[in-house]
Structure 1
Amino acid sequence: MTTFIWLFLANFLVIASLNSLSLLAPFLDKLGASQIFLGVFANLPSLVLVLALSFCSRTITRLHRVRTLRWSFFALLASFPVMLIFSHNLAVLTLCRLLGSGAYVFSSSFLMAMVYDQTPQIRRASTMALFGTGGLLTNPVVSLLGEWTVKNFGGPGLFAVGFGFAFLALLTLAFLHETPADRPAQAPHFWDTARFAPFRTLEILAFLFGGAYTVYMTYTPIFTLEKLGLANLSVFTIPFAAVSIVLRFVFSRDLDRRSSQKLTLAAFGGMGFSFLITILSGALSWSSWGFSLLPWFLLGTAGALYGGAHSLLYPILSSQFVHRGGARDSASSNNVFLVFSTLGAGILAPLCGALGDLGGFSALFGTMLVVSVTAIFVTRRAWGA
């Protein structure tokens, strides 16, 4: 249990550090960055993860986990002072974002695998649901702290926030130790695992699931600034995190007992409604009806709906990969989930940004509504229905 707590804290802090730049988009926008650049910048760690696990997974799974985490967290820590010094240089900011991306790669792969290694099969979904709350807790914390920082110190102040979280994340690793399961004697190539037949429809679902969160986190600050007059992320992330965390703590054990297919169908349905409501909130903001608070309420409702969807999809899809992987080591199977979900984030977010440049926010969020509907049909096939 003690190990789980330190894994939980390390996950929370490193994600908080990486997500500390969520509100940087308006600052980068003023520097002349396009919507496509904003999508790429926000998802650069995702791109690095996809490339690293796709082509180096066999090597990565055999690395000394704790030692590698320490070096990658230190690189993330070092990137923020450089960002602060060169805060108006998009090229330097991109290079530093790239430098810190290793922390995302290794924390995503190693921390989750270490949780799976110490969890019985019958409790995988519920345990991963609880572990994932660490990432969810970062949303209200980072958004509120980020909004206060931007208001008082401007966009570059976010680099100091990221530095603080990275420093604390590095400290937590002092309490983690290597175990024999951390370095399997043999690890399959990534694509050998990815071609495993039971994974195929799950890979599509992971891809579609991965884009939603990143689209919201990347474009909500700009959406609220343009449509509602104030760059704000917490109006979405607070209800998102609150609903998701409550559902995971209250119903986590049910995830191992109820039909995974039915829960997944309900989750993608909720995700679709969240994007529909987001589109509606933007439309109402331009109306002359005088409902000044209604668009904000709708955006918060969208956050709550997506929070419920995310609370189901993340643990179910992740644990399904490990479960269907059978005799394969947990890291190799979970890496397939990570690659396809982050590939979805890395592709769908810039794609939505490009469509947003052409057709506005209705086209941007409307694309994800179509993605949600598509996922419902794929889910029926994934469980053989």
Structure 2
Amino acid sequence: MAENDTMTAKPKILLVDDREENLVALAGLLGGHHAGLLCAHSGEEALDLLLVHEVALALVDVQMPGMDGFELAELMRGTERTREIPIIFVTAGIHDHTRVFKGYESGAVDFLFKPLDPHILSSKVAVFMQLYRQKRELAERVRQLEVALAERQRIENALKSADRRKNEFLAMLGHELRNPLAPIRNAAQIIKRLDVSDPRLQAVQQVIERQTGHLARLVDDLLDISRIEQGKITVRKAPIELSAVVDQALESSRPLIQSRQHRLIVSVPDTPVPLMGDAERLAQLISNLLNNAAKYTPPGGTIWLTVSREDREALIRVKDTGEGIAQPLLAQVFEVFTQSERTLDRAQGGLGLGLAIVKKLVELHQGRIEVFSEGPGKGSEFSVWLPVSA
């Protein structure tokens, strides 16, 4: 029988008595409980029924020829299928405490003496019917939970597999794109060294050089994010001084900032701020934040780079007067391939990997990062805290 059918089917009560008239009388008393009744005239017949049917309660006569009620109860308790079935003994004997104790010892949950009080019998049976229904409901909920957990595990495995394939594809794509870049850049450098007087050729050379540089940065981002996602990127930590890292980042980002005619205000403390970190990766971190500010700040805007020390932490802040970030997007800016909403004619370039790489690099240096913006058109501010070295 299917699980749902079991849930909707009437619970069954097993009546065991060697006398037909007793079975008829019990059946009559239990007619109002909306339960299926199974009648057995002996312990052996009862065992046969228990092999076929799921039973909610057994009412068993104690004194029967052959296998008596005590023996039947012991056999039921010794079998996995019938171990949990509640057994109520029904007996016409005297109130013998020894027999009652023996009944409980063999697995009974209650003892009723004939002549039976219909109200007592009905109330006791009602209790066990309710317990049975609750047990079945609980079992069904457990089954549904197990199905849901199995489905969730299947989905998680599928997502992990898809994520692994994505990272492998990004790594492959980055390497395949990098291969033709080197000869193109070399060709652009050769043209630059030639004494070319034609302004058109000079302009073409500058376009090739500028665009291959942009493409190289995109490829580097792809390779970095694929390595980070696969846990293959490492930071080579060594004692460094933060102002030197800032200089390296500024050298990388100034061309973009100047090309967009931004005003750059840099504030670095006079006293050294020592860190234990990877200078190249930290410079990349700061440069990515500066490039992000430059790309999303309209020409002629202002960018602030501020470095300070707060007790045992170094604080790096990059603030701009740019497009700002809408509140719903603040929680997503550090996710892979996330960019603010923009139209094609306002596209700032990039794949939305820069801030994701920043967050991973911060975490690899045991730091933390936060972003703040009052909303679209009101600029944004990124704050990075890194532990200061002793």
TM-score (norm 1): 0.25
Q: Write 1 or 2 for the structure with the bigger share of helix.
A: 1
Larger relative contact order (C-alpha < 8 A, sep ≥ 6)? 1
Q: Write 1 or 2 for the structure with the bigger share of strand.
A: 2
TM-score (norm 2): 0.25
Question: Which of structures 1 and 2 has the bigger CA Rg?
Answer: 2
